[in-house]
Structure 1
């Protein structure tokens, strides 16, 4: 059965357990949260020695795993078996391994809690295997949160820290950090240390403690492009190129395409209300003026041309008609966006 990550965490915290969990997706924050809770909180310390098994997908096969899963716990009500990095488990990708797991799901060991932590990727949702997992396990698909969902997540997390945050400060946190939930929660936890319980996080606090310490990120690049600040845009691309593990080029292209798509909507709309404009381009009203200012720097014709440049860069990054590395493509793209 499909469930949200938040509901799974709530149930685990209430002691409501199910035999098998399959947790997958791009948003690793929730996958880590579920896995860490299962590993650290379900069993008492004295129970873990014989009843907690943690394996890694690349190092295990399905037959050996299920032998462990089928055994009975020792001196505890249940055993916990966790497969970390399950996306690397070869037997989840071949018919034999998949069938072994499906056979187990028909005759489970009720005293075992089995979790597959399948990061970054998802099982093909059209496959018979995926449909069976969705039916027979607690199936959690952790998608990246949209821009509109992030402030709600931030406010909810801040509440857990016994603090509150203003609406503008929540949106500024998103603007400074982006949609990396692990970084957002880490920054807010560090911030909470210096604030007494019950305090309100204001935009001034976010600017002082998060804004001034942030590394360059794709959202800061978007802001520089909106302002047609070529020097800063080029600087950010150059810094990103030094850490290609953290900053891959294709997501940057997606953000830039979404930016000019929003500018195209603003060029064509007859709406004047900031609230309704915000709904049309799916941003918070706080940031509408920044997009309106950008339409003055990029005409309708330039906006359309830039969307073509971005599409061409996307093809180049996918290896089509290209003899440059990814960040040479990005440097050329940034130049074209502002100079042609």
Structure 2
């Protein structure tokens, strides 16, 4: 295969939906959600429900031994076109080196999917043999700047539309956790009912926030040095929350992502890029880049380093490292996040 990572998720999903199966698949990497999705697609399209009792095996490597698993893979289907075998935690399968031989002669009447939760040593067997003979793919964890595009594509795959600001808000909420992203999209799809577009207001209302009082207005107030406004927004967010401490933890996570973007905009060579290029650097729509650029100009790298330290300390306190209440912790944090001391007065 020409690609260093193997076929993409979309390519494999399309093949499975068209019932175009190879006898042996080998998936590995940190992005378990995508591998889980492909596992479900494979089972759904390779075997009708009525054939699964006798022709489907789900095995966990930590609970099995390779000779037994190979025997299962080599078995014939019972009154079906094929059998399906999924081996999760393949890297933990005792004596999995036995799959070196199976990889060269897989059972043509079976579809076997081997899943590793990390990237194994591909130069050692059985992984070397699997990479040479199986259909393989490396599912890397997505970077922050890839999440907005993934969210937009996933929403559109459901036949829905989503505006740019809503995409950015969701991306900030979920970080790089695709399972959380899908859960939030599920909620929003239910929230909008018969409508076919997810808007900024939908994201805010579904999360219990408003146009005036939300974490994105909070980060704008911080970036512009509007300390009083930042305090007012933070106070309202905690008042509205069912779980103020949990809300404060979420706020800190989003502000950490915000500071991270400002940090990425600091180098001189980055500042010379176009807005479109900067959008790729920090993972936002080019429509919103100017706001981040203007805020980044108000900070020095030293000030941002202090902001990182303050965020780590606040996260620690909110997660049990202090007896202080969440509003007091945020009050102290917001003063430390201001772009300069004069603006914090």
TM-score by length of 1: 0.71
Residues 264/54 of structure 1: CA separation in 2 closer, same or farther (3 Å cut):
same
2:183 is aligned with 1:183? no
What residue is the counterpart of 1:15 in the other structure?
19
What residue is the counterpart of 1:61 in the other structure?
65
What residue is the counterpart of 1:115 in the other structure?
113
Distance (whole Å) between structure 2 residues aligned to residue 37 and residue 68 of structure 1: 21
CA contact (8 A) 2:122 2:131 kept: no
2:166 is aligned with 1:164? no
**Cα displacement (A) at 1:266:** 6.6
What residue is the counterpart of 1:261 in the other structure?
263
CA contact (8 A) 1:173 1:210 kept: no
CA contact (8 A) 2:25 2:113 kept: yes
Q: What is the DSSP-based 3-state SS (H/G/I as helix, E as strand, rest coil) of the residue aligned with 1:7?
A: helix
Distance (whole Å) between structure 1 residues aligned to residue 200 and residue 68 of structure 2: 53
Deviation track 1:37-59 (CA, whole Å, cap 9, x = no partner) reads 22333212221111111111210
Which of the residues 99, 102, 110 maps onto 2:100? Answer: 102
2:36 is aligned with 1:32? yes
What residue is the counterpart of 2:135 in the other structure?
138
Distance (whole Å) between structure 1 residues aligned to residue 76 and residue 46 of structure 2: 16
CA contact (8 A) 1:163 1:197 kept: no
Residues 211/122 of structure 1: CA separation in 2 closer, same or farther (3 Å cut):
farther
Which of the residues 43, 46, 49 maps onto 2:47? Answer: 43
Deviation track 1:94-127 (CA, whole Å, cap 9, x = no partner) reads xxx24310111112111111112323x2213454
What residue is the counterpart of 1:285 in the other structure?
286
Residues 48/286 of structure 1: CA separation in 2 closer, same or farther (3 Å cut):
same
Distance (whole Å) between structure 1 residues aligned to residue 216 and residue 295 of structure 2: 15
**Cα displacement (A) at 1:149:** 2.6
Distance (whole Å) between structure 2 residues aligned to residue 63 and residue 336 of structure 1: 62
Of 123-132 and 161-170, the range deviating more from structure 2: 123-132
Deviation track 1:6-38 (CA, whole Å, cap 9, x = no partner) reads 211110110100111112222122111111122
What residue is the counterpart of 1:318 in the other structure?
none
CA contact (8 A) 2:307 2:336 kept: yes
- Matched residues, number: 307
What residue is the counterpart of 1:316 in the other structure?
none
RMSD, aligned CA: 4.3
Q: What is the DSSP-based 3-state SS (H/G/I as helix, E as strand, rest coil) of the residue aligned with 1:16?
A: coil
Distance (whole Å) between structure 1 residues aligned to residue 270 and residue 67 of structure 2: 59
Q: What is the DSSP-based 3-state SS (H/G/I as helix, E as strand, rest coil) of the residue aligned with 1:264?
A: coil
CA contact (8 A) 1:187 1:210 kept: no
Distance (whole Å) between structure 1 residues aligned to residue 74 and residue 206 of structure 2: 50
Residues 164/253 of structure 1: CA separation in 2 closer, same or farther (3 Å cut):
closer
Of 162-171 and 194-203, the range deviating more from structure 2: 194-203
TM-score by length of 2: 0.70
Superposed structure 1 runs of 4+ greater than 6 Å apart: 218-225, 227-232, 251-254, 334-337
Q: Is there any run of 5+ residues in structure 1 with no aligned partner, and where?
A: 92-96, 314-323
**Cα displacement (A) at 1:146:** 2.6
Distance (whole Å) between structure 1 residues aligned to residue 66 and residue 222 of structure 2: 49
What residue is the counterpart of 2:144 in the other structure?
147
Deviation track 1:68-92 (CA, whole Å, cap 9, x = no partner) reads 11111110111001112334x243x
